[in-house]
Amino acid sequence: MTQNPEEPIRLLLLGHGRMGRAIEQLAPSRGFAIAGTFTAQSNPGGAGLSREALAAVDVVIDFTRPDAALENIRRVAEAGGRMVVGTTGWYDRLDEARQAVERHNAGLVYAANFSLGVQLFYCLAREAARLMARWPQYEPFIIETHHRFKRDAPSGTAQELARQIESHLGARLPVIQSVRAGYVPGTHELGFDTEGETLLLRHAARTRQAFAEGALVAARWVAGETGFHHFSEILDMEART
């Protein structure tokens, strides 16, 4: 999977739902070529991810289902491949995925949300929690709203948001409420509430292009890297250069 810098980065898409189609549409204008697309029917149990199939691509991007993600990761890792995983709902098996990637000297970037704006939202949330730590009367809460087709609840982004602030708030863990309705791409709110007032931070995605852009940023980075990384690590490294 050696990448020639003069050629487009070749992508294999796992999943052709809303996110897969958004990446497919955006990729050519960002210096990528779609080398193939696998669905649940063409890749049952990861069977389509042979060494031969993976030799023809530079990076695999996975937006599938929680029950498919880990086997997809194992197959790509065994071939020493590079991968971006936006599927959520499998994080209880992160250690298994990390071991597979590191054992085979593969490369993987994962995140519950590849929006650059969401990563900045996390930074703001951490600072807000730090400031609120000294004012226990403010009760933290998180509300996340997504389209009715989203399977996991609460969202991976909401859970990550809670993890981002918990070190500052101690036992004052935020209550997470999930809403599934309509066709909302994704909205997350972090609030601090008292009897007299409410403070609110909010991120709202208008289209899936924001997520696709971030996934392609991750794909470009991991095409030449190894190891098991969260998307936030890449942004931190980019900010320091």
Catalytic site positions: 146, 150
Could you tell me the two tokens for 73? Answer: 């990761």
- As to burial, measured by CB atoms within 10 angstroms (0-12 exposed, 13-18 middle, 19+ buried), residue 240 is exposed
Could you tell me the two tokens for 107? Answer: 């490369």
> What is the identity of the amino acid at 229?
H
Which residue's structure tokens are 């609110």?
200
Q: Are 106 and 75 in contact (CB under 8 A)?
A: no
Element (H, E) at 121: helix 116-132
Could you tell me the two tokens for 24? Answer: 């497919």
169: nearest Cα among 196, 190, 143: 190
211: nearest Cα among 231, 227, 228, 194: 231
